[in-house]
Amino acid sequence: MHIYEGVLAGTTSGQTVLAVGALAAAAGTALGLRKLDYERIPRVAVLSSAFFVISLVHVPIGPTSEHLLLSGLMGLVLGWAAFPAVLVALLLQAVFFGFGGPTALGLNTLVMALPAVVCYYLFRRPMRSNYEPMVFLAGFAAGATAIVLGALLVAVSLWLAGSQFDLFGHVFLAAHLPVALIEGLVTGSVVVLLRKVRPELLEAPLLVPRRQEVLHG
C-alpha cells in the first residue's frame, strides 16, 4: 500500500496532497505519543516490528502488488499509538529497502495508521463481547475495514493529485478487496486468541466459552 517516492511530487496538486498527508500524520503521531504510557511501549514495539516484517512480503496482483498490514489489529491494540508504530516501521523500510521515501513518508503513514484508529473506535466495543463469534466478527470487520479504508485513501490521494492517476487508483482499490478478506480472517483469529490468553492487550475481559461459564456459574 506504499505510495512510491516521487510519484506525486511532479505536480502542484500532488505536492499539496503530500504536504497535507505529512501534516496530518505529524498530528496523529503527536497525539499517539501523548496518549502512549510507559507500560504500552512494548506493545507498540512488537506490533511495529510485525507490521515491518509482514508488509515486506509482496504478492503480485495484476499491475500492482499487495501485502498484509495488520493495521486493524494495530488499531484494536494500540488506538492512536498506531501512528508512531506505523511511522517507525515505514521509516525503517524507506531507509533499508527503499519503500516509500522522505516526501511520501507522511502520506503513507496517514493511509495506514488512520484506518487503524478508525477501527479502534468502530469495533473496540463489540470486540469486548464474551460471545466468541461476535469477537471474531469484530476482529474480521476491523481487519477488512482497515484495508479497504487505506486503499480508499490511496485512491483518493491519487485522484486529488491528478487525473493521470485515476485508472491506477481504481485498479489499486479493486486489487485490495481480496487482501481485505484475508486480513479480516487473520485479524479475527488473532483477536479471539488474544481474548483467551492475553486479554489485557485488548483491554478486555478474559474470553470464557459459554459452556464453561455455565459449568462454573
**pLDDT confidence band for 176 (50 / 70 / 90):** confident
Q: Cα separation of 48 and 70, whole Å?
A: 10
Contacts of 202 (CB under 8 A, 6+ apart): 76, 77, 127, 128, 191, 194, 195
For 24-83, write each residue's pLDDT tens digit.
999 999 999 999 998 899 999 999 999 999 888 766 655 455 678 899 999 999 999 999
Tell me, what's the pLDDT at 215? 45
Cβ-contact 76, 124 below 8 angstroms: yes
Say how many C-beta atoms besides its own lie within 10 A of residue 139's C-beta.
30
For 116-174, write each residue's pLDDT tens digit.
999 999 999 999 999 999 999 999 999 999 999 999 998 888 888 875 666 666 777 77
Q: Cα separation of 141 and 145, whole Å?
A: 6
Read off the pTM.
0.89
User: For the domain with range 12-216, which CATH number is right: 3.40.50.2300, 3.40.50.150, 3.50.50.60, 1.10.1760.20?
Assistant: 1.10.1760.20
